[in-house]
């Protein structure tokens, strides 16, 4: 009698499909990975994420390894299996998966992907790499690698980082290769940071760092959100330490009218409201679908805001004419400060994108500035490390607006940006981020 046994997906096959979709088809990892995870057993979802993130983190290095092993690359309909080989080599180099399991499961994935003929080739390539790895471990005369391979970033980006940070560029690229830590934001409407630290201790959840200025908590190791005390009740949220600086820099006061531009997924919106509940908050974002996350976060945290699908570059389509006392502009940017969280950025972003983004940022700044009342404060933020999106953008804005005055940010590091506060990746364990704080003066004074 037949039984309905659950189908066990081959995780290597799913990883190959996911990385192929990102690199060759230009799809976002944050959209593609969840689709593939739906096909995996719950216990295997973590491994699938590890393989996908790993291949994208070390793509040039893995591609270099494949070139040493194969006379002709796999192209056309066979291109998917090139990524399967990358998945196999990543397992050898960066996981503790036993070699026999790496070979066996990766070769089996070829059949899952409906190409039995390539099983022999994939087996031979992986076995050959395995042998070469043993040989290389006893041979210290390896040839020097090009920077793109050595640091696993596109050449155009390496050149930009070298030019901007001649003393720090290697540290930035190496930091981008690391797995990011998990940061918590305590909702101080429920508990102080000190009280929540005690709750974590009671659950045997270890803390690595507490940021002096923001109170952001970095955990020693990542946790499932359901393990965090009071998560469903809105006591705590997941948010990087750098992103948690925004609400404190904006420094809203009671009864003010506040605008959060480009607000999705809503972490900064919610943090501002946690800090100062008695404000009128408007949160806008261009993409209506992304506002679902904003509303979900507001609901979980029991916070109130007016959420609008609107274009920050064209406020006439949604603005009611009432000026704002504070504006947070978390501008569209290259995302080059959060590569460690989103390694696909390295392969989705192109050099030509930067000029397009800087023009958009300039347009949004010019469009939003009239919405700010005299004496009001605008905080400009990006998760970029590129000066043209950050200090140079703000320098141009200040030069074009005589009623704009740059204010000091209490915690800024004057060594990394002459204008504003540039946080570099992994500085105090945080993501790469930039902030500039500007006050609007009365030009008649």
Catalytic residues: 383
Q: How far apart are CA 438 and CA 445, in angstroms?
A: 17
> What totals of helices (H) and strands (E) does the chain contain, helices first?
17, 12
CA torsion sign for 60, 23, 182, 263 is positive
Chain centroid, CA 52 distance in Å: 15
Pairing of strands 207-210, 324-330: unpaired
**Token pair of 176 as six digits:** 């981008």
Q: How far apart are CA 247 and CA 320, in angstroms?
A: 24
DSSP letters along 29-69, please?
A: HHHHHHHHHTTS-GGGHHHHHHHHHHHHHTHHHHHHHHHHH
Pairing of strands 421-423, 433-440: antiparallel
Nearest to residue 129, comparing CAs of 165, 90, 164? Answer: 90
Q: What share of the chain is helix, strand, coil (3-state, %, to 5)?
A: 50, 15, 40
- Residue 43, Cβ density class (10 Å: 0-12 exposed, 13-18 middle, ≥19 buried): exposed
Q: How far apart are CA 369 and CA 261, in angstroms?
A: 12
- Residue 62, Cβ density class (10 Å: 0-12 exposed, 13-18 middle, ≥19 buried): buried
Q: How far apart are CA 53 and CA 148, in angstroms?
A: 18
Residues pairing with 379 in the sheet: 328, 437
270, 338 in Cβ contact below 8 A? Answer: no
Q: How far apart are CA 33 and CA 48, in angstroms?
A: 8
ω into residue 265 within 30 of 0, thus cis? yes
Q: How far apart are CA 335 and CA 5, in angstroms?
A: 44
């Amino acid at each position: 009698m037949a039984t309905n046994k659950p189908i066990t997906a081959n995780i290597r096959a799913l990883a190959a499909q996911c990385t192929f979709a990102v690199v060759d088809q230009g799809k976002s990892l944050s959209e593609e990975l969840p689709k593939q995870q739906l096909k995996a057993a719950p216990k295997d979802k973590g491994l699938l994420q590890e393989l996908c993130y790993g291949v994208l983190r070390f793509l040039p290095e893995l591609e270099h390894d494949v070139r040493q092993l194969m006379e002709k690359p796999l192209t056309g309909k066979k291109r998917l299996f090139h990524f399967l080989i990358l998945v196999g080599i990543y397992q050898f180099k960066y996981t503790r998966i036993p070699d026999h399991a790496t070979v066996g499961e990766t070769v089996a994935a070829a059949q899952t992907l409906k190409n039995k003929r390539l099983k022999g080739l994939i087996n031979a390539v992986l076995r050959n790499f395995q042998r070469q790895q043993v040989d290389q471990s006893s041979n210290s005369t390896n040839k020097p690698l090009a920077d793109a391979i050595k640091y696993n970033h596109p050449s155009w980006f390496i050149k930009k980082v070298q030019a901007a940070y001649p003393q720090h560029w290697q540290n930035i690229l190496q930091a981008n290769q690391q797995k990011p830590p998990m940061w918590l934001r305590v909702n101080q409407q429920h508990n102080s940071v000190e009280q929540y630290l005690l709750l974590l201790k009671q659950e045997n959840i270890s803390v690595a760092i507490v940021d002096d200025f923001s109170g952001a908590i970095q955990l020693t190791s990542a946790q499932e959100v359901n393990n965090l005390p009071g998560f469903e009740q809105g006591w705590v949220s997941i948010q990087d330490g750098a992103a948690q600086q925004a609400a404190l820099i904006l420094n809203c006061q009671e009864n003010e009218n506040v605008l959060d531009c480009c607000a999705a997924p809503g972490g900064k919106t919610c943090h501002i409201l946690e800090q100062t509940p008695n404000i009128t908050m408007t949160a806008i974002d261009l993409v209506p679908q992304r506002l679902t996350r904003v509303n979900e976060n507001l609901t979980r945290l029991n916070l109130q805001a007016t959420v609008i699908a609107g274009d920050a570059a064209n406020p006439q389509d949604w603005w009611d004419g009432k000026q704002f006392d504070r504006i947070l502009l978390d501008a569209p940017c290259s995302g080059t400060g959060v590569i460690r969280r989103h390694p696909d950025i390295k392969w989705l972003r192109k050099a030509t994108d930067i000029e397009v983004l800087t023009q958009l940022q300039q347009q949004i700044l010019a469009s939003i500035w009239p919405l700010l009342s005299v004496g009001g404060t605008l905080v400009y933020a990006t998760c970029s490390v590129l000066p043209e999106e950050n200090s140079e953008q703000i320098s141009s804005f200040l030069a074009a607006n005589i009623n704009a005055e740059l204010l000091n940010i209490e915690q800024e590091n004057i060594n990394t940006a002459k204008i504003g506060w540039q946080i570099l990746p992994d500085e105090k364990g945080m993501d790469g981020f930039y902030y500039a704080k500007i006050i609007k003066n009365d030009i008649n004074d």
